[in-house]
Amino acid sequence: MGLELTAADVAALEGRTEGWIAALQLAALSMQGRVDVAEFIAGFAGDARYVVDYLIEEVLARPPEEVQTFLLRTAILDRLSGPLCDAVTERSGGKAMLESLDRANLFLVPLDDRRRWYRYHHLFADVLRARLLDEQPDLVSALHRRASAWYEENGERAVAIDHALAAGAFDRAADMVELAAASMQLLRQENTLRRWMEALPEAQFRARPVLSNDYVGSLMSTGQIDGVEPYLRGAERWLYTMSAEGGGPQDRPPDMVVVDEERFRTLPTRVAVHRAGQALMLGDRAGCTTHARRALGFAGADDDLGRAAAPALIGLASWGDGDVAAAQAGYAESWMHMRRAGHIADVLGLAITLGDLHVVQGRLRDAMHTYEEALRLAAEQAGPVLRGTADMYVGMAALHRERDDLAAANELLCAARSSASTSPCRRTPTAGGSRRPASGRPKGTSTPQRTCSPTRTGSTQATSLPTCGRSPRCGLGCGSPRASWARPAGGRASGTCRRRTTSATCTSSTTSRSPGCCWRSAGASAS
C-alpha cells in the first residue's frame, strides 16, 4: 500500500496484531493518508474503527446468542479455563465451549500443550471488553468479583487482588493485600505491593494500621520518604489507642480493621524500624539509633525480622559515624536473624555491605567467605535468580582483581552478567575497572598515577574496589588518592575523596549501604 513503514513500525504492528492477517490489512487501511503513522501504530487497539467494524459485523454477529454471551462475560479474563469460565458466567460447560471456540479458530490462543488454559487474541479481547462496557456496564463489577473469588479459592491471591480492585471491591482487596504483604516482601515484590496499595482509597489506610505501616515500607524500600509521615502517624495512633484500652482484640475500636493478627502483634517493632529508617534517610544517625534500639526492645525472641532490621540500621548509622567495627557487628547480627527468618533475598542485600565492611577492615578472606555463603544460599532457592546474586560475583571479582588475578575476575564478572541478564559475555581478560550492576551503588573510578610517591599515604578508596589513586605499579596509596563518584539512586554523591579523610561524610543513604561516603583512614588501604 506504499505506507513506507520503518522496521520498528512493522515490528510494533506485528506484535500488536499477533500476525493476524486481517488485522494487518485493516491497520494498513487505517493508516492510509495519515501523517502520524508511528503514533497510530503505538495506539492501535481493538477500538480502531476498522477493527471494531470488522469484528462486530463479520465475527460477533454470526455465532449463536449463547456463544456471544459467553464471549462477552469472559472478556474480562486475561486467561481462560473451563472451571474459571463456569464461575464467572455462572453456567456450566465452559470447558466444552472453549474447545469449540478453539476448533472454530475464533481468536482463541492456547497457553499450554494440554489446552487447559487459553486467552483471547488481544485485539479481539479489546473489542469484547468495549462492547461489554457499552451494552452491559453494570455487569462488569460482578464479573470481576466472581473471578476474584475463584482465583482466591484456587490459591492465586495476586490475580484475585487485581480482579477485586477492578471490581471496586476495596474492602475485599484491602483484606487480601494485607494478608499478601508478608509474602510479597519476602519475594522482594514491593513494586507490585505498592501498585495495589496506590489503587486503594485513602479511607482504607485510615482504618487499617497494619496496611498503613506496610505502605510506609513499600515507599521506603524504593528510597521515598516524602509522604510517609501521615501513614506512620496513623499506625502509631492505633497503637496508642490499643495501649490505653488493653490491647486485646475485644478492646479494639469498632472502626479499626486488622486482618493479619500475627503482624499486628509485631506492629510496634515494625513502626519503630520505619522510624529508624526515616531518620537515617534524613541524615539523623542519632535518631536512627534511638528508634532502632526501641525496635529491639519491642521485638520478641521469635521475631527474627524485627531483630534483623534494627541491627542493620544501627550498623548503617555506625558506619556513617566512622565506627566500622560496630557497623560490621550490626550487619553480622542482622545476617543471622534474616537467615533464620528465611528472607534469603534480604540476606543477599546484607552480604553486599557485610563484604564491603570486611574489606574495609582488611579481612579479605572473610569477605570472600561472605560472598560464597550468600551464593550458596541463593542457589538453594527454587525459582528465578534472586536479586543481588550478581553483586556477590562482582564482590568476588573485585577481590581477585586486588590479587591481580584478572582472568578469574573476568570470569566472575561474566557470571554476574549471566545471573543479571541474558546478555552475552565476552570472556577475555581485561585490566579495566569492574563496575557493579545497576543496584543503586556508586561506581568507583580511578585516577591512575604513573609514578609513586616515596611514602604510602593513608588513602581512601571508592566503595567498589577500583580504588582512589590506584597505581598500576604500586597498588593502593600511590600518588595523590582521588576518586570520582557516580550518582547513586536515592541520594547525591559526596564528590571527590580527600587525601586524608579523618571522618566520614555522607550525603545519601540506602538500606543496602551508604553510597557517596568517604571513610576515615585506617592504613594504606582503608576504604
| Residue scoring higher pLDDT (3 or 447) | 3
Q: Please give the pLDDT value at position 249.
A: 61
Q: Is 481 exposed, middle or buried (0-12, 13-18, 19+ CB in 10 A)?
A: buried
Residue 18's pLDDT band, with cuts at 50, 70 and 90, is confident
Count of C-beta atoms within a 10 Å radius of residue 256: 17
Q: Is 325 exposed, middle or buried (0-12, 13-18, 19+ CB in 10 A)?
A: exposed
| Residue scoring higher pLDDT (233 or 469) | 233
> Where does residue 484 fall: left (phi above 0), alpha (psi -120 to 50 degrees), or beta otherwise?
beta
Count of C-beta atoms within a 10 Å radius of residue 404: 9
Residues 6+ apart with CB under 8 A from 444: 433, 461, 462, 463, 464, 465, 466, 467, 468, 483, 485
Best CA proximity match to 88, nearest among 38, 121, 55, 132: 132
Q: Which ranges of 18-169 would DSSP assign to H, the alpha helix?
A: 21-31, 37-43, 49-54, 65-73, 82-89, 94-103, 122-135, 137-153, 157-167
Residue 519: is its pLDDT beyond 90? no
Q: What is the pTM of this model?
A: 0.68
Residue 446's pLDDT band, with cuts at 50, 70 and 90, is very low
Q: Please give the pLDDT value at position 248.
A: 59
Residue 475's DSSP bridge partners are 471
Cell of 438: 545497576
Q: Is 471 helix (H, G, I), strand (E, B) or coil?
A: strand
Best CA proximity match to 264, nearest among 248, 279, 275: 248
Q: Please give the pLDDT value at position 118.
A: 94
Residues 6+ apart with CB under 8 A from 492: 507, 508, 516
**Lowest mean per-residue pLDDT among 398-402, 425-429, 455-459:** 455-459
Residue 80's DSSP bridge partners are 118
The angle subtended at Cα 265 by Cα 262 and Cα 267, nearest 5°, is 110
Residues 6+ apart with CB under 8 A from 422: none
Q: Convert the pLDDT of each residue in 284-331 to its tens digit.
A: 999 999 999 999 999 888 888 889 999 999 999 998 888 999 999 999
| Residue scoring higher pLDDT (514 or 120) | 120
Best CA proximity match to 375, nearest among 384, 388, 357: 388
The angle subtended at Cα 325 by Cα 324 and Cα 329, nearest 5°, is 115
| Residue scoring higher pLDDT (360 or 244) | 360
Q: Is 383 exposed, middle or buried (0-12, 13-18, 19+ CB in 10 A)?
A: exposed
Q: Is 319 exposed, middle or buried (0-12, 13-18, 19+ CB in 10 A)?
A: buried
Mean pLDDT of the chain: 76
Q: Convert the pLDDT of each residue in 193-224 to its tens digit.
A: 999 999 999 999 988 999 999 999 888 887 88
Q: Convert the pLDDT of each residue in 60-77 to its tens digit.
A: 777 888 999 999 999 999
H/E run at residue 445:
strand 444-446
Residue 442: is its pLDDT beyond 50? no
User: CA–CA distance from 133 to each of 84, 145, 199, 246, 494 (Å)?
Assistant: 21, 16, 21, 50, 54
Residue type, 76: I
Number of H helices, E strands in the chain: 24, 6
Residues in the chain: 527
Phi, psi of 121 (to 5 degrees): -55, 140
Phi, psi of 517 (to 5 degrees): -120, 150
